[in-house]
Amino acid sequence: MPLMWGKGEAEKTDMHIIIAFLGLIVLAEVALALESPAAGTYIHMLTLFCLIIVASILSWKPELSRLLVALTLVPLIRMFSIATPYWPFSDTLVWLAVITVPMLVAAFATIHVQKLKRSDYGFVLGPLKLLPVQVGIMLLGIPLGFLEYAILAPEPWVADFALGTVILGVLVIMFGTGVSEELVFRGILLHNSSVVMSGRAAILYITVIFTAMHIGFFSIPDLVFVFFVGLFFAYVAYRTGTLLGVIGCHTLLNIMLFMVAPFIL
């Protein structure tokens, strides 16, 4: 029976396990934000190790075990980024392109091991009648990108608007953030969470994890922004069954944030 948080139907042990791993992920991200890379890395390593062990022990609870296996993607994502230093690369885009490869490999390996269908993780077009809605969701990335720029004002990821630079930037941002992050959070993790708990709880759970991964930006307003955007993305993916709109929106958001807004605002 799916967990229904707040309605007295949840198995307390399962809830405690799920929340405990959420707490470890948040703790690791806080440690990294406080400039304790060793502590943050060790906590993520501990989380990864414990997720694998507990998932194996609880193999007699297949839904919960599969969720725990899927959750290993979160510490793996962070450990990939920590283990890949900036200094060998010319800029952030090249660094992001490099760490995107193992992220996508890990995601698709999880999909293969769990025998997920494309409809399970949202790699489908969805109903054609909803295509205009998906396009509208994509275009929301433009104002959202400018809004987040007003909060963070980050340095641009490109030096100019040369054709080669723009093409590289768009492709890296699309696969490095739009595809990979949506596949992991609003695809694999949301699917596995919604099997174990109610849809609303799954949306909230995944959104809190996604928000925690942005603690390192050192901005409370941005965390609020990321939380509500993540909540919107998860709700759209859950209700429509496709990642099409949110991948496009996420991609456009980051293109505006890191490639366009820094030059025109």
- What is the C-alpha separation between 12 and 34, in angstroms, rounded? 32
pLDDT at residue number 8: 44
What is the pLDDT, as a whole number, of residue 126?
84
Q: How far apart are the first and last CA of the chain?
A: 51
Distances (CA, A) of 184 to 73, 208, 226: 7, 14, 16
Average pLDDT over residues 105-115: 96
Q: What is the pLDDT of residue 14?
A: 86
- Contact yes or no for 99/80 (Cβ under 8 A): yes
Instruction: Identify which of 49, 121, 57, 55 has the alpha carbon closest to the alpha carbon of residue 79.
Output: 49
pLDDT of residue 4: 45
pLDDT in tens, 16-58: 899 999 999 999 999 999 878 889 999 999 999 999 999 999 9
| Residue 141, burial from CB neighbour count under 10 angstroms (0-12, 13-18, 19+) | buried
Q: pLDDT digits over 207-249, tens only?
A: 999 999 999 888 999 999 999 999 999 999 999 999 999 999 9
Q: Which of 86-90, 135-139, 150-154, 232-236 has the lowest mean pLDDT?
A: 86-90
